Amino acid sequence: MCGIAGFVDFRRRSTADDLRAVAACMTRQLHHRGPDDSGSWIDAEAGLFLAHTRLAIVDLSPAGAQPMPSSCGRFVLSYNGEIYNAQELRSELEAAGRQFRGHSDTEVLAEGCAVWGVERTVRRLIGMFAFAAWDRKDRTLSLVRDRLGIKPVYWGRCDGRLVFGSELKALQCIPGWRGELDIESLAAYLRFSYVPAPHSIFRNINKLKPGTVLEVLPDGELRQKVYWSLADVAARGESESRRFNDEEAIEALDSILGDAVARRLVADVPLGAFLSGGVDSSAVVALMQKASDRPVKTFSIGFREAEHDESAHAAAVARRLGTEHTEFVVTPEDARGVIERLPRIFDEPFADSSQIPTFLVSELTRRYVTVALSGDGGDELFGGYNRYGIGYRVFSALHRLPGPLRGSLGRAMSGISPAQWDGALSWMPASLRPRHVGEKLHKLAAVLPEDMQGYYERLASPGGDIWRALPGAAEPTLGPLALESRQAIPEARAWMQFMDAATYLPDDILTKVDRASMAVALEARVPILDHRVVEFAWSLPSRFKFRNGQTKWLLRQLLHRYVPQALIDRPKTGFGVPIGAWLRGPLRGWAEDLLDSGAGKDGLFDPAPIKQAWAEHQSGSRDWQHALWNVLMFEAWRREYSQTCLNETHTVTTC
């Protein structure tokens, strides 16, 4: 795993020394992503350079150094990722006459581009990747991102240059950099807890969308090509579902996911896995252990607060599978130490509070191994989120009622405070009563009048309406994608799965895992998001995902081949932290300092709704942890990048 960066100066103003200076700055900014080596490649005549920082995983020798030219010299690559079918592709390239210096997958990618071209090569890859390929003959730069968005690419225009990098911090090395805050992106962040692609927190800087090649022509013209479309895969799966009986489906998943896991065990460095004890990570570890001739190293973290602690479940699964297991218990003091680093790690505002345990488990894991497999993607592909289960059933039942009646019911439900709901329903057995039931009922009350799109966007909005504290901002929405995909994927649950996989997965989950792991130079591999597994999952009829009130039915059946059902089948917890309680306790002073010095002081926010949410949260009458965390993470980011690069016009300049 690595960091990539560079630019093309269309005005040809940059000397070779200028290019070297900027390249050196960019590699310093991305050193954490690749501490083993760094390099640059310069074409002063074209005004271009490629920069690279290397985390050596396969072929640790200098033969794997980057930027890497193809053997014919036509292509030069700066590449971040892993290609898991590199050996098969290498055999084809050797048969075509290509000679190799080492055994890195980078070299396979460079030779593939030279023989087959960039787009044809990318279509053949199994893996995660983001790379820049400079065609010295055609003077064309290609920026490429993998199918699911596992690896990041930011790009944009700055003072007559096309700039790109793995992280935003690298772009701030560009001469004349001005990072102007995009208010609409900020509003979307406040609602969804992340900035949805293709936007970034800065105007004129974008995220390259998954499955896309961006060609930069010599005259500066840009061409975007989609080489793989999740929307097409989902629509095709809905219309052409496979015909399996139960045992055939379980066997097929065992085979294809087993192959995806086995391919991700290739490394020249120590390797392990994250293990939460849930279905997804347990399935990945089970298949790892099946493919390994020695105990797999597994890692988990726990909390002192019982409702957030799954470490006992992880330990039980580890004992059953025979792994070499390590766990770490997180305290509020540990979290506070991480929080101060989050703005620098995530580089733009990001507020999924599970970023804290994700970083801590990555930091723990990196003490022992350099590569870790994770179970991310299982919920989106196999239907694991609560909104696909009980949420969908409640929505379907209530929407049989006339709209005016739903509105009246919603107003009546919201008239009772969450705390009162919690008290009124305390008689229910804990096994049947959802956690934070009062907050969930208030959320349900808000979505009762909505159609399916509105219902989904409400459920996918942890920040709720706190974005309204941003004067002049339009309501953030996922509208265009939602409307187009709703027509192609009419079944409601399948559509929600698609929306999660197209937005929340790359922009929240995978962003979180990439930044948290790469901050400590740990490579995280995600076998469930092998595109062959993705295409298989979308080809399945819904009965293989939802059955008898249970979600992720097929993935559970596969896991039961290796782990007893009693160890796995329990209510979904999620990888969260007790941030609500911490904001009332050990993090209160830190939060109040940020709010007092930031929100509302410069006219960016209307402070009244933020102050009201804070007061209600402190009193316990409402749980505003997600909305407040969104504001706090923005203010922490703003403080980090002001110093003061973020001036009164909300612009970041080079300090």
Would you name the residues annotated as active-site residues?
Answer: 2
Contact 33, 2 (CB under 8 A): yes
CB neighbours (10 Å) of residue 319?
Answer: 11
Task: Report the 10 Å Cβ neighbour count for 64.
Answer: 22
Torsion of CA 394, 413, 432, 280, to 10 degrees: 50
| 144-133-96 Cα angle (round to 5) | 105
The pairing of strands 68-69 and 127-135 is unpaired
Strand, helix or coil at 304?
coil
* HEC secondary structure over 305-361: CHHHCCHHHHHHHHHHHCCEEEEEEECHHHHHHHHCCHHHHHCCCCCCCCHHHHHHH
Helix or strand (DSSP H, E) at 298: strand 297-303
Q: Which residues of 340-365 are buried (b: 16+ CB within 10 A; e: fewer)?
A: eebbebbbbbbbbbbbbbbbbbbbbb
Crossing angle of helices 452-459 and 492-499, in 10° steps, is: 40
Q: How far apart are CA 445 and CA 395, in angstroms?
A: 11
Query: Rounded to an integer, what distance in angstroms lies between the CA atom of residue 164 and that of residue 50?
Result: 10
Q: Which residue has the tokens 């316990």?
A: 620
* Strand pairing class (324-330; 297-303): parallel
Do 616 and 624 form a contact (C-beta atoms < 8 A)? yes
